[in-house]
Amino acid sequence: MKLPDELFRIAEDIRTMRIRGAGRIARAAASGLAIVAEKYETGDRDELKEAILEAARVLVSTRPTAVSLPNAVRFVVLRGLNAYEAGADIAELREAIKTSAEDFIHNSKTAVERIAEYGARRIRDGDRVMTHCHSTAAVSVLLKAWEQGKRFEVFSTETRPRFQGRITAAILADAGIPVTMIVDSAARFFMESIDAVVVGADAVAANGAVVNKIGTSAIALAAHEARVNFFVAAETYKFSPETMLGTLITIEERDPAEVVDRDYLEQHPNIRVRNPAFDVTPPEYIDIIITEQGVIPPQGALMILREEFGWFTRSNLPDFLRGPPSPAHVTSY
């Protein structure tokens, strides 16, 4: 089975974080499936179905924590399987996959716009807002509030070790928003002067816990201690249906060389370096989750999951799309 080279380039870009951010990852995965539907050379509908499933396996193996990735793949693949089982010929099957991918990408972008509208209402004139890492949804909230004429200041953490917070700071500064960049460990130092924290999410569990970039939970704890509002901006496709069944979200650990250079590791072979990419913020530290469907308390996550993913426990998806990646699929170094 010779899948298009473009699919493997997308998968590698996701795995190596050249494509980063849960929304961009999800949209890239959807477009990867559309590429396979369009370019995989076969005249046999059964063979095309297997090619789509193999492409789905390749994509979901890249980043185990970003729930948006398997949710995007599920959305596209499930529609394709439904068309296949309804007797679609190969041209109709190709079109069903491509249309599903286009629908997901459109819905994803629309979701961010609606989140921006809802979230901007929570930002007030004169606020000092802290953010962590880079989230399209969180940034959109701040840009929308600024566009509405509200004037505020943002404190953006660098977000080590990949420094995604520098991306956030640059985007906000380019829009004219006053930005102060701080090292991650200074978050508690500045928290007493902060009015609200706005972050994104890579995954939301059924109990309202939020998985986001490493360091988020420490900032949430500092905000809780200082009685500062902690807001999460997250599209509903970042909610994890597996957690309705009691499955834990896998936390990805990445290459130690992202933290210290390889020369140091070679010089000090007895030092073990761990590099978890994400952590879990418990629901009691979260005030609200801002979704495209509206603002909910973290306890409302289960309601969203039941509405959005009620099909999950009874769908015709293959096993590898009905649970977390197997250990062989987990990116761990």
Rg of the Cα trace of the chain?
Answer: 20
CA–CA distance, 202 with 233 (Å, rounded to integer)? 10
Indicate which residue of 127, 133, 184, 287 is catalytic: 133
Catalytic residue from among 127, 184, 202, 287: 202
Distance CA 162, CA 25 (A): 16
Cα–Cα distance measured from residue 324 to residue 32, given in angstroms and rounded to the nearest whole number: 20
Say whether 117 sits in a helix, a strand or coil: helix
Nearest in space to 132 (alpha carbons), one of 78, 56, 190: 190
Q: What is the DSSP secondary-structure string of 206-268? A: TTS-EEEETTHHHHHHHHHHHT-EEEEE--GGGB-GGGGGTPPPPPPB--GGGTS-HHHHHH-
Is there a catalytic annotation at residue 202? yes
Active site residue 279: no
Catalytic residues: 133, 202
